[in-house]
Structure 1
């Protein structure tokens, strides 16, 4: 199982790869790009861990249940 402190190193490696792959191009919209790549699978995995219980999943995520439902609709998660 990955340790929590492995996550920042994983993100740093991914961003290093991204910047290297730009090959001189100017980056734009990095925050939105990363969030769109991470948020949907995060929500799906937490919902799976919570056995589909949206109230529990929202608690695990530290967000309001209505916010979770809005994000689920945004990503087409049922």
Structure 2
């Protein structure tokens, strides 16, 4: 079975989110989506970098201090 591209998974879930709203207006969607995607991204990258924050920050294209702040925000350290 070929896995779906991440973009397709996100699109499907957003469509389901709007269906579940039942006509209600969404609120702060960008913030919600970033938080939902960011935590598993950080978890997987940290796992594959074997906990090396410098390497993980480089892979993510962000500053190590920014990575550390995000790890704290998501209670991953």
Q: TM-score, normalised by structure 2?
A: 0.91
In structure 1, what is the equivalent of residue 53 of structure 2?
Answer: 54
In structure 2, what is the equivalent of residue 13 of structure 1?
Answer: 12
In structure 2, what is the equivalent of residue 27 of structure 1?
Answer: 26
Q: TM-score, normalised by structure 1?
A: 0.89
* Count, aligned residues: 76
Which structure 1 residue ranges, 5 or more long, are not aligned? Answer: none
Cα distance per residue 1:6-51 (max 9 Å; x no partner): 1111111011100111001111100011111111111011000000
Please provide the CA RMSD for this pair.
1.4
- Write out the 4+ residue segments of structure 1 that deviate beyond 4 Å after TM superposition: none
